[in-house]
């Protein structure tokens, strides 16, 4: 099952969502997004903990992001 986390869940005013099959994949996407979207060179340990805590299983088998395409 895919996992997802929202930038908003960690206190950012941002609609970015990272999806992946593993926590590692999501952490990578978040690091990339933090750099390009928020100008962070790296994610501080404190924020990384929040990100990990915000990762949850994607609900159901629908793919709402595909409908928007
Ligand atoms: Zn963001």
How far is ligand 1, taken at its centre, from the CA of residue 13, in Å? Answer: 7
How far is ligand 1, taken at its centre, from the CA of residue 62, in Å? Answer: 23
Give pLDDT, residue 68: 52
Please choose, from the candidates 1, 36, 2, the residue with its C-alpha nearest in 3D space to the C-alpha of residue 16. Answer: 36
How far is ligand 1, taken at its centre, from the CA of residue 16, in Å? Answer: 5
Q: pLDDT tens-digit profile of 32-66?
A: 999 999 999 999 999 999 999 999 998 866 666 66
Please choose, from the candidates 20, 16, 13, the residue with its C-alpha nearest in 3D space to the C-alpha of residue 56. Answer: 20
Give the tokens for residue 67. Answer: 């409908």
The answer to whether the CB of 5 falls within 8 A of the CB of 56 is: yes
CA–CA separation, 53 and 37 (whole Å): 20
- The domain spans of the chain are 3-67
């Amino acid at each position: 099952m895919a996992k997802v986390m929202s930038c908003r869940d960690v206190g950012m005013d941002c609609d970015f969502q990272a999806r992946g099959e593993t926590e590692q994949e999501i952490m990578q996407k978040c690091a990339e997004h933090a750099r390009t979207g928020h100008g962070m060179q790296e994610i501080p340990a404190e924020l990384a903990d929040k990100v990990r805590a915000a990762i949850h299983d994607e609900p159901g088998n629908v793919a709402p992001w595909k409908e928007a395409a």
